[in-house]
Amino acid sequence: MNIFKGLINGMIAGATPILLAALGGTYTYYAGIFNIAMEGMMLAGAFGAVLGSYFFHSWLAGLLCAILGSTLLALIFILFAVVLKTDEFITGIALNLFAVGATTYLLRQIFAVKGAFSSPEILPIPRLHLAGLEKVPVLGEILSGQNLLVYLMLAALLLSVYVIFKTRFGLRLRAAGYNAPSLDSSGVRTAVIRVWALLICGVLCGLAGAYLSLGYVTLFSENMSAGRGWISLAAVILVNGNPWGIALISLLFGFTDGLGLWLQQSLPSQFTAMVPYLATLAALYFYSMRRKRLAR
């Protein structure tokens, strides 16, 4: 029972940042932006979270600063890719570099440390105990007591499904990706839709980053996003942006993450750490084979 609970909780913990960032990526995916800057946005969010929480002694301030940090990156993306029309791929690469550089630099400047910063004054984001749900048999322990961001993630998932497929904004958002000239000729400026998509992506990646540095652990370390942004991107591409598909894939990655921890009893940790990346390759394999069959 405890192993089961541990695996499920590990899965949720691993899935949360990936799902949040991938949901952000799904907005830009539908808007027709080749956005590979999720990795950098997450990292900026993680740093902002620690910064805010440490200085204001409040996890809420941390959360807000996380959103601020990653949205700042989104704004730079907007400036270059949308306004100045620089290549999106190049902008993304430069932003990821910028995020790594800026967070390491600021880590050194503000906290005067190299590598990682942790302090008891950083307040983590609390877990939420829902009295009603705790009483549910078997599942109660899983449904209740999760990190606040896990519940926010669920809300973001449901909201995204609604926004993308049921609203006026969603219709325009998808049109921006399917056929931008058509949207422009309909009197809606594609550039404006893309700006919104990137801002939403910034907010969601900020939450993902905050989960990394104030939820999963309570510290910031250099490059702590560790490729999770890339995995989110892979998830978005693999399911063509469908939010439910993204949820499924994120849970799968979360599971392999938990599995890796569990495997550490029998394998060197370096190999268990590879598991999520190998899982991404496996998912890509199945996706590509399916597509290849369809193309025949």
Residues forming contacts to other proteins in the complex (CB under 8 A) are 76, 80, 84-87, 90-91, 93-98, 100-102, 104-105, 107-109, 163, 166-172, 174-175, 178-179, 181-189, 226-227, 230, 233-234, 237, 268, 270-271, 273-274, 277-278, 280-281, 284-285, 288-289, 291-292, 294-296
| Number of neighbours of residue 260 by Cβ within 10 angstroms | 21
Nearer to other proteins, 101 or 126 (CB): 101
Q: Name the DSSP letter for residue 227.
A: T
**Across the strands, what pairs with 147?**
127
How far apart (Å, rounded) are the C-alpha atoms in residues 140 and 137?
6
Q: How far is the CB of 93 from other proteins (least distance, A)?
A: 6
How far apart (Å, rounded) are the C-alpha atoms in residues 18 and 246?
9
**Across the strands, what pairs with 117?**
220
How far apart (Å, rounded) are the C-alpha atoms in residues 108 and 102?
10
- For residue 143, give the amino acid letter: L
Q: How far is the CB of 254 from other proteins (least distance, A)?
A: 17
Nearer to other proteins, 148 or 275 (CB): 275
- For residue 244, give the amino acid letter: W
* In contact, 16 and 153? CB cutoff 8 Å: yes
How far apart (Å, rounded) are the C-alpha atoms in residues 37 and 125?
25
Under DSSP, is residue 195 helix (H, G, I), strand (E, B) or coil? Answer: helix
Nearer to other proteins, 1 or 84 (CB): 84
Nearer to other proteins, 213 or 232 (CB): 232
